[in-house]
Amino acid sequence: MSGRRIRCSWCGVQLTVPPRAQNIQCAVCKAVTQVQQHDRLLGQAQSSLHDATNKLKGFLNTVSSNINSMVAAVNSYPMQASSYGSYAQPARPISSLMPFSAKGKKRAVLCAVSYYGQRHRLKGTVNDVRCMKYFLVERMGFPNDSILLLSEEEPNPSLIPTKYNIRKALHWLVQGCQSGDSLVFHYSGHGSQQRDLNGDEIDGYDEMLLPVDHQIEGTILDDEINATIVKPLPSGAKLHAIIDACHSGTVLDLPFLCRMNSEGYYVWEDHGFLSSTYKGTSGGLAISFSACDDHQVSVDTMALSGNAVTGAMTYSFIQAAQKEPGLTYGRLLNSMSQIIRDAKAGTHLNGPISALLRKVLGTELSQVPQLSSSAKFDIYSKPLSL
């Protein structure tokens, strides 16, 4: 008989409880939840909810009676017509999806998934997002309090990169987005593929991100990512995604993919013609840098001082952007590819990723950075602007 499911008392992840178990440890945050106490608290909550419901019904009946009396009194009072006409009441503000509200014209979600205690653990993801945060704050002018960082090392349970929390973070990123806003989504973790079921993928596969609890809660598909952070983007707003994961070439499901050869010549491929659903924005511009093509895998590597594991794509992006401020998207792609080729060949480079040249975890660097966009443009005339 399969066990029932309860939520972790600390981080909220759903846990499957074996029969007759009294305690269970969460694989994500390692907290121990007492099953009997959980049942007792659930019963108390249900009883309290029942009492509160009865009180609320009585309160609403009283309020309804008072409102009816007020309406009758207002209708009987002689009033002059307003010369300004009627107007729609503004929508009431929704509650914040995260512990703090979005601030400023620049904001970012940085997500590191390390999969602690799991078979396919990654070692460099936290280094990736910490370095990306430093780059955005110190080099690109992002306010520190407008950057949301999710990792398994965060003490706040709502900042652990579970499927639920990543979804909340993506909604927070675009919440209230306006013209002139600049958004960044950086993800360092595992990516994968599955058979496309709605016929909108050229290669027949959907791409997806793997949250820390994907074995229980499932993955986040490219279709959902597109609908959440691409489609709502208004005119004048821009989104840059930096996805350091396997099979990530079209993980934002953007309509156009830039194909560049080793000489720097490029063409735009139309990836949106198969879809019956519009995959573009609401007037804004969305651009995604991916670690590799949909059929490729990415790697962790040694970087910085030679003893910090990082994603090769993350560091090639930061290195290229820092080395040549104001470079175009085409120049950035060329520089990133050159950095990875030099690392593969063992050529010496100066700068923070010089250790790439010495050691690559015994894995050949065959990945090629990819660029996709919601609209075609001349990549050699448009400068990078985060």
pLDDT for position 165 = 96
Choose the catalytic residue: 190, 214, 240, 271: 190
C-alpha–C-alpha distance, residues 90 and 92, integer Å? 6
Residues 64-79: tens digit of each pLDDT: 555 455 445 434 444 3
Percent of the chain with pLDDT over 70: 65
CB burial readout 35-71, b (16+ within 10 A) else e: beebeeeeeeeeeeeeeeeeeeeeeeeeeeeeeeeee
Least confident of 2-6, 32-36, 248-252: 2-6
- What average pLDDT does the segment 310-338 reach? 88
Percent of the chain with pLDDT over 90: 41
Residues 230-287: tens digit of each pLDDT: 999 999 999 999 999 876 768 898 999 988 887 888 999 888 777 778 889 999 999 9
Highest-confidence range of 18-27, 35-44, 295-304, by mean pLDDT? 18-27
- Residue 217's alpha-carbon distances to 7, 65, 162, 165, 212, in angstroms, are 12, 46, 8, 12, 9
pLDDT for position 179 = 97
Least confident of 108-112, 154-158, 206-210, 244-248: 244-248
pLDDT for position 351 = 47
C-alpha–C-alpha distance, residues 150 and 248, integer Å? 19
DSSP 47-88: HHHHHHHHHHHHHHHHHHHHHHHHHHHHHTS--PPPTT---P
Of 358, 323, 373, 340, the closest CA to residue 262 belongs to: 340
Of 212, 213, 178, 187, the closest CA to residue 108 belongs to: 187
pLDDT for position 102 = 57
Residues 299-322: tens digit of each pLDDT: 444 433 344 556 778 888 999 999
- CB-CB neighbours of 160 under 10 Å: 26
Task: With cut-offs at 50, 70 and 90, classify the pLDDT of residue 344.
Answer: low
Residues 167-188: tens digit of each pLDDT: 999 999 999 999 999 999 999 9
pLDDT for position 45 = 56
C-alpha–C-alpha distance, residues 106 and 95, integer Å? 20
Residue 157 three-state SS: helix
Highest-confidence range of 92-96, 206-210, 262-266, 289-293, by mean pLDDT? 206-210
Stated pTM of the model: 0.69
Contacts (Cβ under 8 Å, ≥6 apart) of 46: none
Residues 89-139: tens digit of each pLDDT: 333 333 444 555 656 799 999 999 999 999 889 888 999 999 999 999 999
Choose the catalytic residue: 8, 131, 246, 292: 246
C-alpha–C-alpha distance, residues 126 and 235, integer Å? 33
The answer to whether 190 is a known catalytic residue is yes
Whole-number CA gyration radius for the chain? 25
Q: Tokens representing 123? A: 């070692």
Sort strands 370-373 and 285-290 into parallel, antiparallel or unpaired: antiparallel
The answer to whether 177 is a known catalytic residue is no
pLDDT for position 212 = 96
